[in-house]
Amino acid sequence: MNRREFAKLMGVSAVALSGIPLGVTRAVGQTKGGTLNTIIQPEPPILVTALNQQQPTLTLGGKIYESLLRYSPDLKPLPGLAQSWEVSQDGLTYTFKLFPGITFHDGKPLTADDVIFSMTKLLPETHARARGIYSRIEKADAPDPLTVVFKLKSTFAPFLTALDCTTGPIVPKHIYDGTEYRKNPANAQAIGSGPFKLKEWVKGSHVHLVRHEGYYRKDEPHLDEIIYRIIPDSASRAVALEQGKIQLTQWNDIEMFDVARLSKLPNFEMTTKGYEYFAPHQWLELNNRIKPMDDKRFRQAIAYALDLKSMAQRVYFGLPKVATGPVSSATRFYEKDVKRYDYSLDKAKALLDDMGLKPGAGGKRVTIKYLTPPYGEIYQRAAEFIRQSLGRVGIDLQIENTDVGGWAEKFSNWDYEMTGNLVYQFGDPALGVSRTYISSNIKKGILFSNTAGYSNPEVDRLFEEAATSTSEAKRQELYSQVQKILVEDVPVVWMFEQAYPTFIDKRLKNVTTTAIGVHESFSDVSFG
Amino acid sequence: MTAVSVDAKGGRVFAIALALAGWVVKFIAVVLVIATFNFILVHAAPGDPAQVIAGQSGASDEKLLAQLRAEYGLDKPYPIQLANYLKRVVTLDLGYSYRQQRTVASLILERLPATLLLTATAFSLALLSGIILGMLAGVRAGKWSDTVLTVVSLLLYATPVFWLGLMLVLLFSVQLDWLPAFGYVTIGVPMTALQRMVDIGWHLILPAVSLAAVYLAIYTRLMRSSVLDVTHQDFIKTAKAKGLKQGRIIIRHILRNAMLPIVTVAGMQAGALVGGAVVIETVFAWPGLGRLIYDALLQRDYPVLLGVFLVMSVIVIALNLLTDAIYRVIDPRVSVRAAS
């Protein structure tokens, strides 16, 4: 008996129910059309990615706002709004040719003026990450409506890697110019040029996107509509997936401990691809200002004491890769030939002995407080694992729990001893890696800065030189050098290249074809 | 004679007016005290909305934090923020959520119907069936049917509400596919008003039953002991002695008197139901007020948090008043003066 029959049995009028498809997607099995049901959680505050860069905002906003470029999984630039681009010999001038016929959702054309306004006026004002990159633009010109020329103040090689839809969303100049950006009433409507536009947002329930008919790419988008349902409870999300009520999950939608079970579902494939641009890197953050963590030997001892392979299996169910250093293997300029910290309790103990940290009563050498990152149950399980591992070498970990607000406040103000951190790499060490280690970025009150307080003039110099060099080979050499130094110093204890399970209905095509993955515009996603 | 009776009547009107005026003053004072406490409590939690946004954006800098704090009005000293807030409360302005770019009043109004529908359904369900089952158990005290009811209600009482919800989903949605597992209404489908109502009712069943379960158990237990209590009173013996039929005794004498403790407890719990549905709303993705509070708390969205707290405290005070009024209907011994 299914729901319809049950309803009849219970005396509910068949007329009242007819015409309501009960959880079945319409128009599937064809290339054109169809409704994609998926999840968004937590509910984003607004959809304008230029004004808010929380992960759910970016996932949803990626369908609404586009940028100049997209990126292949190995981080090579692909056409976005720009169909072609050129970099001058001196590495200072970047010229982009836009596709013709791009329109915003309100029907007005998107031209070079909108690109220049977004990247040189609005984003440097509203977007912390874009500010650091686009404020390097000295001059922007539009020789014709489809051509944008940026001249940088000085060479900055990662510029071409920082034009994705999460960093450089293009907003309509005619709506935002001269207004107070954050208070603009048009923010509610979220007008972009992406393949999908906002139809309805019922707070607490769902966000309904529909096809933008004036989209500039021929025959795209393939889907008619995307419905993002807000399902706050992880068990309910798993049920929605099992019942086929949704056809796609992303990021933390499915808890790692459910992955093995749900991977057996016949209608879904599970992939961890599509996060290459972000390459979330997970590590143990040690406050380098506090004894004994100011001593390199102590930090190395912790690196030896953690059996990361076993932790990847037991806590994260085999999804993530063990990190070998500060740069993710998915990011450009990764160096794999660095010092290794293979699991060894003896080496850890020897280092601690060498420091003079002798075991006291009950084998305890030192007690350290661990502030659990507030990003879900998996982090609590990880904390337990770390506590047990470090306990074996006499480091007594005391676990403290809090929520995002409390964690951010304590961590950013250096009011912590040890915590976990998860930082995106954004495709290039100059964009996502150096910020954690350079001494000019030791900034109290600021998250994702050099919170550990590590300072090494040689590291500063290498990162600086690598960011401004225009030769790929030279950059590789400098980054290899800096990775070797950092791995020797262990300012933080790198643990995992974090992986997220993306469950995709087998009928869906082209979901994770780029390095932006689920944040991508989905213009070429289709059923069948 | 006439003069005296007019006097007496005037005195009574005056007493009621005085009681009402006293009540209004008390109401305002309580609301202001609650508002102040809310403010202090909410701001005592570490972290602020700017840090939360930074924490979930993967990037942050001084300018972003300063911009957000200025926008949220957090750059001013606490006493000034509190004064501004109380000024708004007095003028019935709940404020503006910069985070959600909406007025708090509109956010609450949007969520209130779903919560009221859920809690009112669950509450009525629990109250009605609790009273009936409690009566049955009470008049059959010691018999096997009483034992069964007692055991079942104890089990329900001991079951965590989220677990019960998930189990019901597993049974009725996953296994049997009879009822929708989550949500408020089927999304993305054009429906007539009637279809929509039926569809919402369909979605309502599981969350309402889960939420009602615990309360049902409480009322059953309470009603049972209350009925037993009343049954041993002298006036019941009198009623039996004058030859009234059992059914009439139960309905006219036992039920009416046994209801008093239920009204007291139900009055208190009706308030809790408004905010107490967070767990059920989360499990069933029900777009209600409870989840609005929970999200606002995690996001440190102070205006929303304070607004919901205030609305809820007003609802609770109003419900207490309603309870008082119901007392007077059920039990004539309760006077206006005593209640005021």
Q: Is residue B105 part of a domain?
A: no
Q: Which whole number is the average pLDDT over A220-243? A: 92
pLDDT score of A419: 97
In DSSP notation, A319-373 reads -SEEP-SSS-TTSTT----S------HHHHHHHHHHHT----GGG--EEEEEE--
B76 and B132 inside one domain: no
B189 and B53 inside one domain: no
B66 and B119 inside one domain: no
Q: Is residue B98 part of a domain?
A: no
Which residues of chain B are within 8 Å of residue A404 when distances are taken between CB atoms? 47, 52, 55-56, 298-299
Question: What's the helix, strand, coil split of chain A in %, to 5?
Answer: 30, 20, 50
pLDDT, tens digit, for every residue of B220-266?
Answer: 989 898 888 888 888 888 888 888 888 888 877 888 888 888 888 88
CB count, 10 Å around CB of B307?
27
pLDDT band of residue B204 (cuts 50, 70, 90) is: very high
Chain A: give the shortest CA distance to residue B275, in Å.
16
> Contact, A236 vs A257, CB < 8 A?
no
Share of chain A above pLDDT 90, in %: 84
Which residues of chain B are within 8 Å of residue A412 when distances are taken between CB atoms? 51, 54, 60
Instruction: Identify the sign of the CA torsion A216, A222, A227, A231.
Output: negative
SS3 A69: strand
Examine the fold and report which residue of B90, B122, B142 is the final residue of a domain before the chain moves on. B90
pLDDT band of residue B336 (cuts 50, 70, 90) is: low
B322 and B252 inside one domain: yes
Is B317 or A164 the better-scoring residue by pLDDT? Answer: A164
Q: Which whole number is the average pLDDT over A122-136? A: 94
Virtual torsion, Cα A306, A312, A317, A321, nearest 10 deg = 170
* Average pLDDT value over all residues in chain A: 92
pLDDT score of A171: 97
Task: Evaluate if residue A78 carries a pLDDT over 70.
Answer: yes
Q: Is residue B100 part of a domain?
A: no
pLDDT, tens digit, for every residue of B56-104?
Answer: 777 788 888 888 888 888 888 888 889 988 888 888 888 888 778 888 9
pLDDT score of B3: 47
Task: Evaluate if residue A449 carries a pLDDT over 70.
Answer: yes
pLDDT band of residue B6 (cuts 50, 70, 90) is: low
Option in A7, A225, A405 nearest B47 (CB) = A405
pLDDT score of B84: 87
Cα–Cα dist B102/A188, whole Å: 9
B300 and B257 inside one domain: yes
pLDDT, tens digit, for every residue of A477-494?
Answer: 999 999 999 999 999 999
With CA atoms as reference, the chain A residue closest to B55 would be A408
Q: Do B186 and A20 touch (CB under 8 A)?
A: yes
CATH number, domain A3-63+194-274+500-527: 3.40.190.10
Q: Look at chain B and report how many structural domains it folds into.
A: 2
ipTM of the complex: 0.79
User: What is each CA distance from A98 to A95, A105, B174, B302, in whole angstroms?
Assistant: 10, 17, 49, 43
B115 and B215 inside one domain: yes
Which residues of chain B are within 8 Å of residue A238 when distances are taken between CB atoms? none
pLDDT band of residue A30 (cuts 50, 70, 90) is: very low
pLDDT score of A17: 41
Cα–Cα dist A499/A487, whole Å: 22
Residues near B91 by Cβ (< 8 Å), separated by ≥ 6?
Answer: none
With CA atoms as reference, the chain A residue closest to B288 would be A204
Share of chain B above pLDDT 70, in %: 94
Q: Is residue B20 part of a domain?
A: yes
pLDDT, tens digit, for every residue of B144-186?
Answer: 888 888 888 889 888 888 889 889 988 998 888 888 888 888 8
Q: Is residue B96 part of a domain?
A: no
Task: Evaluate if residue A16 carries a pLDDT over 60.
Answer: no
pLDDT band of residue A371 (cuts 50, 70, 90) is: very high
Nearest CA to A338 out of A215, A466, A482, A454 is that of A482
pLDDT score of A19: 39
Q: Which whole number is the average pLDDT over A508-515? A: 94
B55 and B146 inside one domain: no
Which residues of chain B are within 8 Å of residue A447 when distances are taken between CB atoms? 51, 54-55, 60
Give burial (CB, 10 Å; 0-12/13-18/19+) of B225: middle
Task: Evaluate if residue A471 carries a pLDDT over 60.
Answer: yes
CATH 3.30.70.980 fits A69-176, yes or no: no
In DSSP notation, A479-514 reads HHHHHHHHHHH-SEEEEEE----EEEETTEESSS-S
Chain B: give the shortest CA distance to residue A441, in Å.
10
Q: Is residue B257 part of a domain?
A: yes
Task: Evaluate if residue A7 carries a pLDDT over 90.
Answer: no
Option in A23, A54, A278 nearest B53 (CB) = A54
Whole-angstrom Cα Rg for chain A: 25
Which residues of chain A are within 8 Å of residue B47 when distances are taken between CB atoms? 403-409
Peptide bond into A42 cis (omega under 30): yes
Which residues of chain B are within 8 Å of residue A53 when distances are taken between CB atoms? 57-59
CB count, 10 Å around CB of B323?
18
Q: Is residue B104 part of a domain?
A: no
pLDDT score of A410: 93
Bridge partners (DSSP) listed for residue B35: none
Q: Is residue B95 part of a domain?
A: no
Q: Do B285 and A2 touch (CB under 8 A)?
A: no
pLDDT, tens digit, for every residue of A406-435?
Answer: 999 999 999 999 999 999 999 999 999 999
**Low-confidence winner among A149-158, A465-474, B319-328 (lowest mean pLDDT):** B319-328
pLDDT score of B233: 84
Option in A129, A229, A403 nearest B187 (CB) = A229
Nearest CA to B165 out of A188, A431, A498, A239 is that of A239
Range of the domain at B22: 3-90
Which residues of chain A are within 8 Å of residue B199 when distances are taken between CB atoms? 20
Which residues of chain B are within 8 Å of residue A408 when distances are taken between CB atoms? 47, 51-52, 54-55
Domain ranges (residues) in chain A: 3-63+194-274+500-527, 69-176, 281-497
Highest-confidence segment of A232-241, A299-308, B19-28, B43-52: A299-308
B72 and B118 inside one domain: no
Cα–Cα dist A150/A139, whole Å: 6
> Contact, B177 vs B240, CB < 8 A?
no
Cα–Cα dist A483/A54, whole Å: 29
Taking one residue from A and the other from B, the number of pairs with CB-CB distance under 8 angstroms is 196
B67 and B157 inside one domain: no
pLDDT score of A8: 52
Chain B: give the shortest CA distance to residue A373, in Å.
10
Peptide bond into A429 cis (omega under 30): no
Q: Do B52 and A405 touch (CB under 8 A)?
A: yes
Examine the fold and report which residue of B30, B58, B90 is the final residue of a domain before the chain moves on. B90
* Reported CATH class of domain A281-497: alpha beta
Residues near A465 by Cβ (< 8 Å), separated by ≥ 6?
Answer: A478
Highest-confidence segment of A56-65, B14-23, B41-50: A56-65
**B64, B186, B191, B196: which to substitute to probe chain A, counting the most A Cβ within 10 Å?**
B64
pLDDT score of A99: 97
pLDDT, tens digit, for every residue of B278-335?
Answer: 888 988 989 988 888 888 888 888 999 899 888 888 888 888 878 877 877 777 776 6
> Contact, A41 vs A231, CB < 8 A?
yes
Q: Which whole number is the average pLDDT over A287-312? A: 96
**Low-confidence winner among A246-255, B116-125, B258-267, B299-308 (lowest mean pLDDT):** B258-267
Option in B46, B100, B184 nearest A406 (CB) = B46
B134 and B33 inside one domain: no
Chain B: give the shortest CA distance to residue A233, in Å.
5
Q: Do A53 and B114 touch (CB under 8 A)?
A: no
B314 and B214 inside one domain: yes
Q: Are strands A225-229 and A35-39 parallel, antiparallel or unpaired?
A: parallel
pLDDT score of A502: 96
**A1, A3, A237, A379: which to substitute to probe chain B, counting the most B Cβ within 10 Å?**
A3
